[in-house]
Amino acid sequence: MRITVIGCGYLGATHAAAMAELGHEVLGMETDPAKLASLTAGEVPMFEPGLADLLGRHVAGGRLRFTDSYEEVAAFGELHFVCVGTPQRPESLAADVTQVETAITRLAPHLTRPTVVIGKSTVPVGTAERMAGLLTELSPAGADALLAWNPEFLREGYAVEDSMSPDRIVIGVADDRAEKALRDFYATVIDAGTPVVVTDYATAELVKVAANSFLATKISFINAMAEVCEATGADVVDLADAIGYDARIGRRFLQAGIGFGGGCLPKDIRAFVHRAGELGVEDAMTFLRQVDDINQRQRERVVGIVAGMVGELAGARIGVWGAAFKPDSDDVRDSPALWIAGQLHLRGARVRIYDPRANGTAAVAFPTLSYADSAVEACRDADVVLHLTEWPEFREVSPSDLADVVARPQLLDGRNVLDHDAWRSAGWTVRGLGRR
Ligand code: UGA
């Protein structure tokens, strides 16, 4: 099918390339001139495993093109996917849906034939209903310009894999024609056995925020347990292993550490709390505020623990491993690693960071921090080493070699994945979070 993808950031660029891979003809729409130039040249403006190869291949093969013209988009596509960002508003917890509104408002006047516009962005419940009205009102096709909501569940680091073989497809519709169009579009994926949930707009919108809220709750739950473990001499990793064997609970997303970050979980739960308030059901969502608070407290707690380890933060040398919000990503949006590094720096510590991929993005966000070219260099003469993003590369570093490089062999493992016994055997003092 001939489809368009409006907004080629993380979600859009991945969706565009993955759908080209599935055999569709794709036109991506991007208004940012720098991003557009890079995508047109077949280059991905961020790091995501497998994406550069996929996108480059389909741009070269001609199945994937990019434009900044809504007129061209309307003329080209049978289906239009809206993948623009919905960041947190600067003045409140709410999500800013301006980009979604702009996309619909600018596209609609060019829609002269029957078409389906599909929202993939994460939006406050009620947005789709409003956008459907806008679409009918503004497009010459009128009631033949249909809207569907089809949330995306891809994870950074696995974005290509998640797009090509999702674990479910959720379709929110108000018209059977839109459902049929999406079933035809996803036919290969559906035939491969992917479950499909067809529902109304509101449920489709809620599925996305409910999923992210649940994941965030799991993480904050285990991080709260980590604090209790510290107070009792118990071990949170053993605890997570043991409760995780219960299939009703599951071990995934029970990794205690410095907490969750990124462009999705933090802002999605805040926007959900805000929306619940508008809907008069704030009390039902109070726990999500606590999920956010527990998450924030983890970061603050780490700053306090580091202060205790070095004695005096002012002038202390701190080597930091990791700046990205998680491994296999160069994304530093709301990264707990960078937040901690930044706070330590602001309190007078001399912080040196190394991230295998995110030094560049981190330096843009936090130019006053110092960045090293290697894991070992970040630790030279350090009073403490902080392991804050669990890149596999950090597990390869020899604790005994590193002991010769630092001033004091002290490690804080903020992700609880290093081999603490091996580090202790090499003479290090090791702190985890919630560890015995
Ligand atoms: C998240 C969801 O997992 C995706 O399903 C969703 O599509 C996406 O948001 C989105 O809304 O677009 P992502 O932000 O890529 O995906 O990252 P996650 O893998 O969920 O990790 C989020 C954060 O939680 C990271 O900072 C990670 O380090 C942290 N985390 C994760 C933990 O601290 N402990 C865990 O056990 C798992």
Give the tens place of pLDDT for each residue, 278-301: 999 999 999 999 999 999 999 999
Say what the pLDDT of residue 337 is. 98
Helix (H, G, I), strand (E, B) or coil at 326: coil
Burial 57-81 (b: 16+ CB within 10 A, else e): ebbeeebbbbbeebeebbebbbbbb
**Can you give the pTM of this predicted structure?**
0.96
| Calpha distance 47→10 (Å, rounded) | 10
Q: Under a CB-based contact definition with an 8 Å cutoff, are residues 224 and 292 in contact?
A: no
Pocket test for ligand 1, best of 122, 215, 331 (most atoms within 8 A of CB): 215
195 confidence band (pLDDT: 50, 70, 90)? very high
- Give the C-alpha distances (Å, rounded to integers) separating 69 from 30, 56, 171, 258: 8, 21, 27, 43
- Measured CA angle at 305 (ends 303, 308), to 5 deg: 110
Domain regions of the chain by residue span: 2-199, 200-436
Look at the block and give the residue holding tokens 């073989």: 165
45 confidence band (pLDDT: 50, 70, 90)? confident
Question: What is the number of the ligand 1 atom nearest to the C-alpha of 390?
Answer: 28
Ligand 1 pocket at CB < 6 A: 122, 152-156, 212, 215, 219, 253-255, 257, 259-262, 264-265, 325-326
- Give the C-alpha distances (Å, rounded to integers) separating 218 from 157, 205, 436: 20, 21, 21
Look at the block and give the residue holding tokens 């991003």: 35
Taking Cα atoms as reference points, which of 416, 421, 390, 419 lies closest to residue 235?
A: 416
**DSSP, residue by residue, 121-185:** S---TTHHHHHHHHHHHH-TTGGGEEEEE----PPTTSHHHHHHS-S-EEEEESSHHHHHHHHHH
Pocket test for ligand 1, best of 122, 219, 269 (most atoms within 8 A of CB): 219
Q: What is the CATH number of domain 2-199?
A: 3.40.50.720
State the average pLDDT over residues 239-253: 98
156 confidence band (pLDDT: 50, 70, 90)? very high
Q: Under a CB-based contact definition with an 8 Å cutoff, are residues 139 and 108 in contact?
A: yes
Topology adopted by domain 200-436: Rossmann fold (3.40.50)
Say what percent of the chain tops pLDDT 70: 100
Same CATH topology for 2-199 and 200-436: the answer is yes
Taking Cα atoms as reference points, which of 416, 433, 418 lies closest to residue 298?
A: 433
Give 395-423 pLDDT, tens digit per residue: 999 999 999 999 999 999 999 999 999 99
How many residues belong to the chain? 436
264 labelled catalytic: yes
